């Protein structure tokens, strides 16, 4: 009974989101902020994905019963652990990728993919900012993943977009996302190369960008994909036009946003300032701000 009260309260908190036809994907239960840290729940159109913490012991049948009543989803998928591709608890498995909407734009998601479905719900405020500040700009989307940040930049009037990521499969999905929104892009706009190397080549060729998006994973992987954040900041600053901005994601839980901001400023140089910062949306409420996704935009004074 206590679990149902928490589910109901979380559902009511997001009432405005439920009624918005332009956005059909968001977090409907965030464990750390909604009072039950053992699981999270996301809505993707007419589907629900439950993310369980390891050995959580959550009564998933009761959770599924609640969402079946309030949302009537076509399917409910349970993922037990970060690398679990999931299993269908209610309904039938999607026959392929689904299309969801955010602020009227369309994105393809794969709910049975391991880890993320291909669309980070907590980055919605960042996408909103990028859409409002990309008009007329040449934008580089680094660590592009499935390209949602580039899609919103183009929707906001970006003059050009280049996606850079080592994962060729994800870059193909980025192309699909542009196509879903009837955005004209070239295959040359999707480059499967290590980000640091791409930046060094761009600088050597004298290229510059009016907007650079840096969204590196929380930890540097091994092999040719390794990176140091400070080095990325330094290279991005060299590839930035005088009137441009650098948009940085800070996605490591538990780290002090102030300290990370100081690291960026120290690396870019004293001529730079942070002129905007934001955090994950209210559907990702966290009592400890250090554990919320945060992002910031920097420019020359």
Beta-bridged to residue 42, according to DSSP, are 27, 49
Claim to verify: residue 160 and residue 34 sit in the same structural domain: no
pLDDT of residue 225: 46
Q: Kindly give the pairing relationship between strand 47-52 and strand 39-44.
A: antiparallel
DSSP codes, 195-209 = HHHHHHHHHHTT--E
Claim to verify: residue 42 and residue 187 sit in the same structural domain: no
pLDDT of residue 221: 54
- Judge contact between 71 and 48, C-beta under 8 A: yes
The closest of 118, 123, 120 to 295, measured between CA atoms, is: 123
Distance CA 84, CA 172 (A): 23
Other beta carbons within 10 angstroms of residue 297's beta carbon come to 20
Q: Which residues of the chain have pLDDT under 50?
A: 223-225
Which helix or strand (DSSP H or E) is residue 295 part of?
strand 294-300
Residue pLDDT, tens place only, 179-219? 999 999 999 999 999 999 999 999 999 999 999 999 988 66
Distance CA 289, CA 142 (A): 25
- Write down the residue that tokens 């609640």 correspond to: 66
**CATH code for position 175:** 3.40.50.150
Residue 131 is assigned to a structural domain of this protein: yes
Residue pLDDT, tens place only, 217-238? 866 555 444 568 889 999 999 9
Q: Which two tokens stand for residue 25?
A: 């994907």
Within 13 Å, how many C-alpha atoms sit on residue 93's CB side?
Answer: 10
Claim to verify: residue 173 and residue 280 sit in the same structural domain: yes
Q: Which long-range contacts (CB under 8 A, 24 or more apart) does 56-59 make?
A: 56/80, 59/3
Residue 114 is assigned to a structural domain of this protein: no
Within 13 Å, how many C-alpha atoms sit on residue 138's CB side?
Answer: 10
Q: Which two tokens stand for residue 154?
A: 């183009």
Distance CA 241, CA 39 (A): 44
- How many structural domains compose the chain? 2
Query: At which of 67, 83, 109 does a domain end?
Result: 109
- Judge contact between 166 and 182, C-beta under 8 A: no
- Decide: helix, strand or coil at residue 5: helix
Query: At which of 60, 89, 109 does a domain end?
Result: 109
Claim to verify: residue 264 and residue 141 sit in the same structural domain: yes
pLDDT of residue 251: 80
Residue pLDDT, tens place only, 157-184? 999 999 999 999 999 999 999 999 999 9
pLDDT of residue 21: 96
Domain of 256 in residue numbering reads as 121-300
Claim to verify: residue 195 and residue 246 sit in the same structural domain: yes
The H-assigned helical ranges of the chain are 2-13, 15-18, 31-34, 60-70, 124-132, 148-155, 168-180, 195-204, 229-238, 257-268
Claim to verify: residue 125 and residue 241 sit in the same structural domain: yes
Give first-to-last CA distance, the chain, whole Å.
55
Q: Which two tokens stand for residue 193?
A: 């190369």
């Amino acid at each position: 009974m206590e679990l149902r009260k928490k589910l109901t309260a979380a559902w009511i908190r997001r009432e405005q989101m439920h009624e918005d036809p332009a956005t059909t994907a968001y977090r409907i239960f965030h464990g750390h902020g909604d009072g039950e840290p053992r699981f999270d729940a996301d809505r993707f159109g007419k589907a629900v994905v439950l993310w369980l913490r390891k050995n959580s012991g959550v009564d998933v049948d009761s959770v599924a019963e609640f969402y079946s009543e309030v949302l009537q989803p076509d399917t409910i998928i349970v993922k037990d652990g970060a690398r679990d591709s999931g299993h269908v608890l209610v309904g039938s498995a999607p026959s392929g990728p689904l299309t969801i909407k955010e602020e009227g734009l369309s994105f393809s998601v794969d709910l049975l993919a391991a880890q993320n479905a291909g669309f980070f719900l907590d980055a919605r405020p960042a996408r909103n900012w990028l859409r409002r500040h990309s008009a007329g700009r040449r934008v580089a989307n680094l660590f592009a993943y499935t390209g949602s940040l580039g899609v919103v930049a183009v929707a906001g009037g970006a003059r050009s977009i280049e996606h850079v990521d080592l994962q060729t499969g994800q870059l193909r999905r980025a192309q699909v996302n542009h196509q879903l929104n009837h955005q004209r892009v070239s295959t040359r706009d999707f480059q499967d190369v290590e980000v640091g190397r791409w930046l060094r080549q761009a600088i050597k060729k004298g290229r510059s960008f009016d907007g650079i998006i840096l969204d590196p994973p929380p930890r540097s992987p091994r092999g040719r994909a390794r990176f140091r954040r400070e080095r990325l900041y330094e290279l991005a600053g060299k590839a930035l036009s005088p009137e441009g901005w650098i948009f940085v994601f800070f996605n490591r839980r538990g780290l002090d946003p102030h300290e990370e901001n100081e690291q960026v400023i120290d690396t870019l140089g004293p001529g730079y300032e942070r002129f905007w910062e934001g955090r994950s949306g209210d559907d990702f409420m966290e009592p400890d701000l250090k554990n919320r996704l945060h992002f910031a935009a920097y420019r020359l004074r």
